[in-house]
Each structure stands twice: as C-alpha cells, then as structure tokens.
Amino acid sequence: MYTNLRTVLKTADKLNMAVGAFNTHSLEMLPAIIGAAKEEGTPVIIQTSVGTAKYVGHGNLAAVCKSMSEQAGIDVVLHLDHAKEYEDIKEAIDAGYSSVMFDGSSLPFKENILKTRQIIEYAKKFNVSVEAELGIVGGTEDGVAADASEVRYTDPKEAVEFVNQTGIDALAVAIGTNHGQYKSKTNINFERLKEIKEAVDIPLVIHGGTGVKDEDVRKVIDLGIRKFNVGTELLVTWTKKSKELFGETPENASLRNNVVPCIDAVNEVVRRKIQLFKNIDD
C-alpha cells in the first residue's frame, strides 16, 4: 500500500526495527530499492531532495511509487527530504507525496516550532506525515555542506518542548552522524540518543546512515531509531558501476545493458541494509 510514515513507523516500533529510508536521484533507482524491500518483506521509504523532485517531477515520482507499491504488495512511503521552504512542501503534498520533512534546524528554536506547526496544519488535511529536525547534523546534503563548527547535538529538553508544541510524527536527531560520509565512519553519541529516547515518545530518525558502522546499527535501533536514512552509499554504488560499464561499451549499445547492472548493484546494497535494520530475532 502507498502510505505515510505513521503507518510504517508504528509497525517498526512493534517489531523493534527501523524502516530503511533510501534517497533516490532518479526513477531508475526505484526498482532497485522497492525490489529489495519486497525481497526482504519490509516496508520502505523512498525519499527525494527538493532538487530531485523538481527535475524528475513530483507527480511522476508519486505515480510510480503508488503503482510499484501495489505491484510489490508492500508498504511504500514517498517522503520529501530536508525541505526548508513552505512552498516546496506544499508542491510535494499537492502532487501526492505521502510524507515530508520540514528542516528548520538552522532556525532559532521558537521559529522552528512555528514554521513546523504551519507545515503540520497543511499536511494534516491530506493525511501526510511530518518529520522535523532538532540540532544540526553535519556533512553535505544535496551539495550543501554544514561546517563542522555548525554541528549541534539535539538537546533532550528542547526535544520535549518541540514535540509537545508541534505534534510531529518523527524527530530527526543530531547525535554525531554526518551526511555524505562515505570513506570513514561516525562515532555516535549513544548516551545522548538514550537521553532523547527517554525524553520523547515518538519515532526517532537517523540521518547520515552511510557513515554508521554496521555494528552500531542494532545499538541505535534498540535506542529508538525507527527510520534509517541512507543516501550516499546508493549514489556511489550506482555511479561506480555505471562508470565501469559506460567506459567499456560502444556508443550505440543498448542503454538497458548499462542500467540494469546498476539497478542490481544498488539492489544488493539496499537488501544488505534492510537485513541490518530488521530485528533478526523475529
């Protein structure tokens, strides 16, 4: 079923697992991601930046996700990642996105609350879920880099006030991960995550999933992470594979011969991630 975050994160909570939220940069990546979720028998969250949504077409992404969720027989959420403008969020909701993230993390606290509330008011009318962020995650997101000096961990007391005053469906936390971190891995502040989890009773989201060590995945899920964002690793896998293939093939070769192996390579990465996110004791 094509659904929103509330549905899939509720299930994840019952099963003590996280749902993978995978950033796509094109329609071609969707079979890789949704196919992997079908093979693993889990729901999946497809997320796009505002930039990707604009160039692929919001409506196209929504239509393909809807049809693929029906064909695969699994829950699929289409989520707008890190939107900072009301108009961008409205455009996505109007075109059929089932979930959005309003990223007011760089705004003063009260302004973040007020703007998040505005988004919720609009999203509610369409049964669209809303994620918001408190604290500042480092690294590079859609080409925009956050300076190391800007990084700020989520404050548990602020988290309580923020959740109570906004009514968001999921909270993105800054606990030491960085967007775009591919070559090295992150040192997570588990103590801070535990404090946040004890303070608020809603699903928590980890950003910068590519940089999280495999051995840390279960630990953060046990501490309340229910949505696990992974982007860079998929992008790098696709790009490496396509460079290799396009470098070797003649100009008039079938495009399919070069694209299908990229889909297969990304599918393998997504499956492995989902296996880590599932509660293997179940």
Nearest distance from C-beta of residue 112 to ligand 13P, angstroms: 17
CA distance 108 to 162: 12
Q: Supply the residues annotated as catalytic.
A: 81
Nearest distance from C-beta of residue 70 to ligand 13P, angstroms: 26
3-state SS assignment for residue 143: coil
CB nearer to ligand 13P: pick between 69 and 210: 210
Nearest distance from C-beta of residue 239 to ligand 13P, angstroms: 13
Question: At residue 237, what is the residue type?
Answer: T
CA distance 185 to 196: 22
- Any idea which residue has 């991601």 for tokens? 33
CB nearer to ligand 13P: pick between 58 and 82: 82
CB nearer to ligand 13P: pick between 52 and 181: 181
CA distance 110 to 59: 33
Per CB under 6 A, residues contacting ligand 13P are 23, 81-82, 179-181, 207-211, 229-233
- Within 8 A by CB and 6+ apart from 19, the residues are 8, 9, 11, 12, 42, 43, 44, 45, 77, 226, 227, 228, 277
CA distance 110 to 105: 11
Nearest distance from C-beta of residue 68 to ligand 13P, angstroms: 21
Do the beta carbons of residue 31 and residue 263 sit within 8 Å?
yes
CB nearer to ligand 13P: pick between 115 and 207: 207
